Structure 1
Amino acid sequence: MIETGKGAPASRSALLDVLTRKPAERRPIWFMRQAGRYLPEYRAVREKAGSFLDLCYNPELAAEVTVQPLRRYDLDAAILFADILVVPHAMGLPLRFAEGEGPVLGSVRSMEDLEALRPVVGTHEVTQVCRTVGLTRAQLSPHQALIGFCGAPWTVASYMVGGGSSDRVLAKVAAYQRQPWFGALIDRLVRESIDYLSAQADAGAQVVQIFDSWAGDLIGTELVDFVLKPLAAIVAGVRARHPNLPVIVFARGVGMAQRRVAGIPGANAIGVETEFELSDLPKDVVVQGNLDPVSLLAGAEVVASEVKRICASVDRQRHIFNLGHGIRLGTDPTVVGAVVDAVRRCDG
């Protein structure tokens, strides 16, 4: 079991308590991208593994980088080390990560392209990720929850249509035109995501999060049809198979539509981007967030002040402290520790 860093660990999972609305011993905290290039120990494992994908599909090494942050910091959860593009890769699209350029992914731009893809269940990619889940769970203490995840249909489809590009114009055009193949792609990704998250739960994940990183691209009926409805369908599908599995929904950038995200039936919590005030959400909603990742580049004094402000804005029994997005490359690991210490002081 992992020995946590500074501070006395809780005797039970604060994250699971908050998500299931039980009294929590403390405000849970974890970070998006908490395992990554800002940590020298991660960089050492990455060099050993070779490529990013080689690391993702090596269960022993992926489990190692998943737990590394919990050796440094008094965190309440580990998040599985993988990538949101595991699903399209498992479906048969070629994928590689070009250094300094991001993902290069095969594209889907027709019904024929879509029909050529295979189901994710039983694929090498999903099997290896689930092995990572099992190996990681065995290394965690009872108070440290393990979070599995997937990318949301709109975000994943954006990459699939764009061939891996972060330019979502092609996907947005297909959405606006209501191309039949694009609607079918979204529906297919809902089904595959349910299967993928269920496999992670079967392997030992105790919480799952759905990342819709580009949800803010869409408004109006497109937001409803390609973001909100698919998210709700995944939550319903996962909860039908795993009724007691908490689900966090992170629809980044949707602004006031966060209230609609908060209304998704069955979702246990919503992740909130930095630009939205947690206090503006209904008081009966469990919220996750939302410290600005850029503030960590400004130093420990700045983040201590920001942490105090955020903690004061929301009751700790319905708050999971996190960032508004992932930890940025170049972040000083000691400042990450300062964030954790500041959260503990707020509730001390």
Structure 2
Amino acid sequence: MQNFITTVIGARPQFIKAAAVSRALKSAGVYEKIIHTGQHFDQKMSEIFFREMEIPRPHYQLDIHSLPHGAMTGRMLEEIEKILMQDRPNAVLVYGDTNSTLAGALAAIKLHIPVIHVEAGLRSFDMKMPEEVNRILTDRLSSLLFCPTATSVENLYREGFQHFDTEIIHCGDVMYDAVLYYLEKAKKSSTIIEKLHLKEKEFALATIHRQENTDDIDRLEQIVKGLNSVNEELLVVVPLHPRTTAHLQKINTKPEFKIIEPVGYFDMIVLLEHCKLVLTDSGGLQKEAYFFSKPCVTLREQTEWTELVASGCNHLAGYKAEEIFKKYIQSMSKEGDFSGKLYGDGHSTEIIAEKIKRKFM
């Protein structure tokens, strides 16, 4: 039987990472089967990424979404386990910190299948975040830990991972590889700047999607007020997930910024290239802002990308309106240090693919 690995994905950031890593695996001669859990099921949040980034079509579509954390993770665990019992891959590859990530790692380790974690070692040190729980548990279940930054390596050593049966590799960030590979393709195919009439305009790019911000009406109202204040100074463009749009109907403050439908990866990186500033509660977009040398205001009180804060490129604002506006002013007036190679040199996917080939094939 052919040697192969199984990759579990389910959310937008994982599609981007998988696009870069799957291409490197193919080049290295590593056969891969993909399980798509369906965690992001919206056309704009899923299908478009597979199409425009030429991600290999998933071998399995589980269509598990719109459930509470426990129910969603449990259903994914059950269905992934069935597939792994049938296929028996050499290893299971997971990305990041979603419910899909933890479910894939749990299903694999209980069947004594090695787990590979790409984007290991990240810590926000906030155990109220479901993502923090997912990433800590996934790291502990993994035998091969690919760390995007020096800080993430240090976190693992601080937690004693050098004493576990694991291999820790500082490889750089696969999302940086993706930007380097796809930017020229995106600029040729995307018409988002013309479509939104932004060619001659300065604007900020913002996203709001994290559950603690969208499900808490008071927090959401504060964030909308903060973005409205920024919008008075600089046009704010917000690609908004339908779920967040529905929550906006419940607050008293009317958004004055420009809301657009969710966009694919190509449109997003073109918007990033043209914007003046990023405001976001997304982990991935904080890094992507750095890749494009754009200051970032993070609508959270902690971040797993602590090196961005230390370099002055990222400003933690939390969710209160006055603090969001204050950090906006600060980020526009104070130059961050974008000169360092915090996320590698664009060859992280090659390091990952070659290591997987040597260890598991």
With a CA cutoff of 8 Å and minimum separation of 6, indicate the structure with the bigger relative contact order.
1
Flag whether TM exceeds 0.5 (same fold).
no
With the length of structure 2 as denominator, give the TM-score of the two structures: 0.29
